[in-house]
Amino acid sequence: MSIFKTCDIRGVYGVELDAETAYRLGRAVGARFRGQEVVVGGDLRPSTTALKAALMDGLLRSGAHVVDLGLVPTPAFYFAKRRLGAPAGVMVTASHNPPRYNGFKLMFGELPITPEDLQTLAQEMAVGDWPEGQGRYRQESVLDAYMDFLVRSFPSLRPHRVVVDAGNGSLWSVAPTVLRRLGQEVVELYCTPDGTFPHRDPNPAIAKNLGDLGRLVVAARAELGVAYDGDGDRVILVDGRGQVQPADRTFVLLIRHFLSQHPGGKVVYDLKSSLVVAEEIEKAGGEALREKSGHAFIKRRLLDEGAILGGEISGHYFFSALGGDDALYATLALLQALDALGLPYTQAMDTVPAYPITPDIRLPCPVECAEAILQGLLAAFQDYPIDRLDGVRILFPEGWALARISVTEPLITLRFEARTEEALAEIQRRVRAACPALDRLMAQPALSTDKNDQD
């Protein structure tokens, strides 16, 4: 599959991308922003140093001016780009992927890059027809300013006992430091920097990766635990019982809090989220905006609609105050919401409804077969409300079914939810009965849902 995904560039270092890839990307981006500043940061992966150096070399040779942030969390990279008013930025990171991966997150202007932008870049990188120039290089330290910004944004939090699992990633020092400066009692777990991620996979959205965090929360009698991904833009929470809480259910606490402050506000959520999310937005007087899964899609919708808040089940939370997402900001916003409720996290989560929902069911399937399945579902359920935002999402009286074609692998991905276990089983039965090809696929073992790539 191509390294050019829907939202970023990603691949296995030394196999799918290398320093030459980074250099050619730098030349292509530098040609677009010749004579202008491009902010560059990187995560802690061993391959980041070589990729970042080659990227900056390419930018400079095309005449762009490089602002080198060093090794920083992705939210600090976004902060620096806003603070400096730079027209573009490139972050060297593979986010939540295992250490053998690396890649690039790009920003042109204030909006995230589009799939069309990425395909154009791919063509420009392949052709190699770039102007020659010599840009200027300078270093910029932003971590202190970034931490000061977070502390100023949440000046009066009550103390909470929080276990911080940085997963040896980019928030290893920043998260404990900021929380302590705000009066929180922090218990550290895997808060030493190591881009090989020796203690757990860097994707916190996979519950089995957070076993150590859950046990430490209970042992330390902490109120909650927070787990961050490799570059610090995703967060998943564990309650005081040591149970991992899905990101969409945690999102409900932020929804209630922000809509109490901004009545009638718009909230963006991804289409794989529980019914509970839209119900709680509407219950709180807000406007629910469903969007494709994926960081770039949620962020762009947030900005285009002037929404106050956004979230997706991967653990990204987006805020109008930032114009984007930030896992540590989300942590502090949640603590603020708990203070307003007067409840500890576990008891607050007990107020959030929970419906039976499946994980992603990933079935190997050639693209042609997957397309035929989607067409079959459209025909079979033509009398039901159907959302074609991303794949086929069929709305039933008591729940929904979603079928999507993966953009990274030859797979079809399914997800089901209903208000009762009986209704969930019935929806699955009806979908299988309506599409024999899908029924045959579902009769076979699904691939593991413990997936690191976005699809």
Catalytic residues: 10, 95, 316
Residue 338 CB: number of other CB atoms within 10 A?
21
Looking only at the bridges linking them, the beta strands covering 235-238 and 224-228 are: antiparallel
CA 352-292-175 angle, to 5 degrees, is 60
Contact 336, 326 (CB under 8 A): no
Cα separation, 290 vs 12, whole angstroms: 32
Closest CA to 302 of 349, 266, 253: 266
Cα separation, 32 vs 266, whole angstroms: 34
Q: What residues does 74 pair with on adjacent strands?
A: none
Q: At 34, phi and psi to the nearest 5?
A: -60, 130
Cα separation, 86 vs 83, whole angstroms: 8
Within the chain, what is the greatest distance between any pair of CA atoms? 66
Closest CA to 348 of 235, 261, 223, 236: 223
Looking only at the bridges linking them, the beta strands covering 287-291 and 266-270 are: parallel
Question: Which amino acid belongs to residue 223?
Answer: E
> What is residue 291's three-state secondary structure?
strand
- Quick one: tokens of 64? 């762009």
Question: Which amino acid belongs to residue 159?
Answer: P
Looking only at the bridges linking them, the beta strands covering 161-165 and 65-71 are: unpaired
User: For residue 86, how far is the Cα from the chain centroid?
Assistant: 23
Q: What residues does 89 pair with on adjacent strands?
A: 39, 107
Q: Is 350 exposed, middle or buried (0-12, 13-18, 19+ CB in 10 A)?
A: exposed
Cα separation, 203 vs 209, whole angstroms: 7
Cα separation, 183 vs 168, whole angstroms: 23
Contact 172, 191 (CB under 8 A): yes
Cα separation, 74 vs 340, whole angstroms: 29
Cα separation, 245 vs 421, whole angstroms: 19
Closest CA to 29 of 109, 95, 83, 142: 109
